[in-house]
Amino acid sequence: MKHVGRPLVTAVFLILILILITSSASAYSEEPMEPNLVAEVIGSRSISGMDTVQFVISNLGLDLGAERHHCGYADAYNVTIWLEGNKSIKVITNKTFFERIPQSSVFEISFLVLAKPNVSGRENLILHMEYYKLNFLNSNQNLGQNLTQNSTHSNQSLAQNLNQTLNQNLTFNFTFEKVEKQASFMFKIVPLSSPKIKAIIKKERFYASEINNLRIYLTNEGGLARNVTAKLASQNLSVFPDFAIISALPSAATVPVTFQIKKETGNAVVSLNLSYEYFNGTEWIVGKEQQNLLLKFENRKDEILSIPDKLEVERGEKGDVSFYVFNPYEYPITLSLELKSDSGITFKQKRVFLRLIPGETKLLPLDFEVDDKAKFERIGVKIDGSITILSPYPKDERFSRILWVEIKPEPEFEVRAVNPIFSGKENQILEISIKNTGETAENIRIILKPAIGIPLKLHDTFIEKLGRGEEKIVKFRVDVGDLPPQNYAMEALMFYKDLQGEELKKDIVFSVNVLAGSSEFGIENEHAEILGILVVILILAFVARRK
């Protein structure tokens, strides 16, 4: 049996002391256990150039049954673990020593290896584990006997100390047994290649006049790179910080690096300069490369105000229109809006002040009133906006938008008297012009309300249709009393339908000119018409007789 040292024997006797203190019988027996070290590979089983392989070691404490009796501690002592290389893979890490590995313990161990250049395929590596286990032999002697140690490891002084502690006599035997285990693991050798680093920008939207976070993902499609430095440079772009360092970028790994950038307007081309170290099979060398990236900057202020494409209103309408304001920036903003309209529509609240936190949206209703005499046209309401970005670099921005307001066309009539009428005469013809200055009207019924002193023979008339800009003459028969010559107000009540079939009505006041006596030629309107008819009849008769 091998000598494993005084500290190890001392530890064994201390364990025996605990056992003897708790023992209540003259004979000692425990459930038989012994150490059992098991290894498994963790991480990748691929080796490329200089690489690291990792194992997890577990002490499972194997139970052997009742054939052996011992103290119950399945610990492994004086453990040595090493990895054996081969002609293709050299193991750089030396043997690793552990004084004791307790039962049920689990730990990791790694080895630095180097695959030879231009070698590929699968290779086996052998992991060796050498350790000692402790065996106790059963004794049936009584405690009253002299304490003697029958062991291949002589330590009489330790036995005497144990006897004094217990004040008892016991005969026992123990031995150390060497255990050697090994396990074979398959690894794949990947040919060593230089790093191939690809830069990817996943965020494609950046905004002018503010600080943006630019995150670049570096993906290594080649071999291992270490001490990677990524430096960003551009002539018309502010960058902070302008570099980032990655300690290691393994093959197939992706690591993000972040920069803060700012640009006032337009797009920018930036240069990403990469430097790194990689192993070429014999030494570490420096590699460099450059990639250009296009960054597109948009103006966030275009997203601040959302207004309707157009606002359709009617004459005399009172209502409100809703705007949406939104803060698209990453910082709070103050917002000022001013509304300007030349004619046709008036906003009660012409100036608005707001403060918005990042991402906040607010509904902004604004009251308006349309003029009763507004033209049927498209009106542009100008909205001037001013914002202040409350960022570490505060800045003012201005913008303008147009709200288009359409006065909804509807039938609109102009009524006027075409001819004068005469005081003190009866049965006169009053001609009235009806002109539509608005949208087409149909089924138009016109009821004329008489004025004092101007009674009507016929109160109403009908027009089937009157389009935009069309004019028609309607006639009414009136009696005129003895009235002073002047203009008199009359009222026309109109019932009609628009193109949507909606029934509408309007009350229109117009003036009629009343003159004194008869007409300039002394012939009243009605008599003039009769005389004209007679003249036509005589002319026709004369022509017929000549034939």
* The predicted structure's pLDDT at residue 142: 40
Angle 390-238-263 (CA atoms, 0-180°, nearest 5)?
60
Structure tokens at 471: 């004019």
- Final residue before a domain boundary, out of 383, 407, 431: 407
Q: Are residues 33 and 146 in the same domain?
A: yes
pLDDT class for 69, splitting at 50, 70, 90?
Answer: very low
Q: Residue 22 corresponds to which amino acid?
A: T
Question: Using the 8-state DSSP alphabet, how is residue 523 labeled?
Answer: -
Q: Are residues 343 and 461 in the same domain?
A: no
Residues paired with residue 70 on neighbouring β-strands, in sequence order = none
- How many Cβ atoms from other residues are within 10 Å of residue 503's Cβ? 9
The verdict on residue 374 lying in a domain is yes
Angle 342-345-350 (CA atoms, 0-180°, nearest 5)?
75
Q: Are residues 35 and 181 in the same domain?
A: yes
pLDDT tens by residue, 166-179: 444 455 556 778 99
- Final residue before a domain boundary, out of 363, 381, 407: 407
Which residue shows structure tokens 């109403």?
Answer: 460
Q: Are residues 352 and 259 in the same domain?
A: no
pLDDT class for 141, splitting at 50, 70, 90?
Answer: very low
Q: Are residues 166 and 294 in the same domain?
A: no
Q: Are residues 384 and 417 in the same domain?
A: no
Sign for the CA dihedral angle at 68, 71, 73, 79 comes to negative
Structure tokens at 256: 């993000």
Q: Are residues 179 and 266 in the same domain?
A: no
Answer yes or no: is pLDDT of 519 > 70: no
Of 197, 206, 201, 199, nearest to 226 by C-alpha is 197
Split into its structural domains, the chain has a count of 4
The verdict on residue 86 lying in a domain is yes
Q: Residue 379 corresponds to which amino acid?
A: I
Q: Are residues 179 and 217 in the same domain?
A: no
Whole domain around residue 368: which residue ranges?
A: 303-407
CB 256 within 8 A of CB 295: no
**Separation between Cα atoms, residue 524 and residue 89, nearest integer Å:** 132
* The predicted structure's pLDDT at residue 143: 36
pLDDT class for 529, splitting at 50, 70, 90?
Answer: low
**Looking at residues 234-254, what average pLDDT do you find?**
87
The verdict on residue 542 lying in a domain is no
Of 118, 125, 66, 61, nearest to 93 by C-alpha is 125
Q: Are residues 76 and 132 in the same domain?
A: yes
Burial track 279-288 (b if 16+ CB lie within 10 A, e otherwise): beeeeeeebe
Of 115, 109, 76, nearest to 95 by C-alpha is 109
Residue-averaged pLDDT of the chain: 79
pLDDT tens by residue, 276-329: 998 877 788 898 988 888 888 888 777 888 888 888 888 888 888 889 999 888
Answer yes or no: is pLDDT of 43 > 70: yes
Q: Are residues 343 and 398 in the same domain?
A: yes
The verdict on residue 109 lying in a domain is yes
Tell which wins on pLDDT, 346 or 158. 346
* The predicted structure's pLDDT at residue 532: 57
The verdict on residue 521 lying in a domain is no
Residue 24's domain is classified under what CATH number?
A: 2.60.40.10
Residue percentage of the chain with pLDDT more than 70: 80
The verdict on residue 460 lying in a domain is yes
CB 295 within 8 A of CB 261: yes
**Looking at residues 365-391, what average pLDDT do you find?**
86
* Least confident range of 117-126, 143-152, 236-245, 260-269: 143-152
pLDDT tens by residue, 197-217: 888 887 767 877 778 888 999
The verdict on residue 526 lying in a domain is no
Task: Read off φ and ψ for residue 15, nearest 5 degrees.
Answer: -60, -40
Q: Are residues 73 and 180 in the same domain?
A: yes
The verdict on residue 391 lying in a domain is yes
- Final residue before a domain boundary, out of 169, 189, 209: 189
Q: Are residues 185 and 40 in the same domain?
A: yes
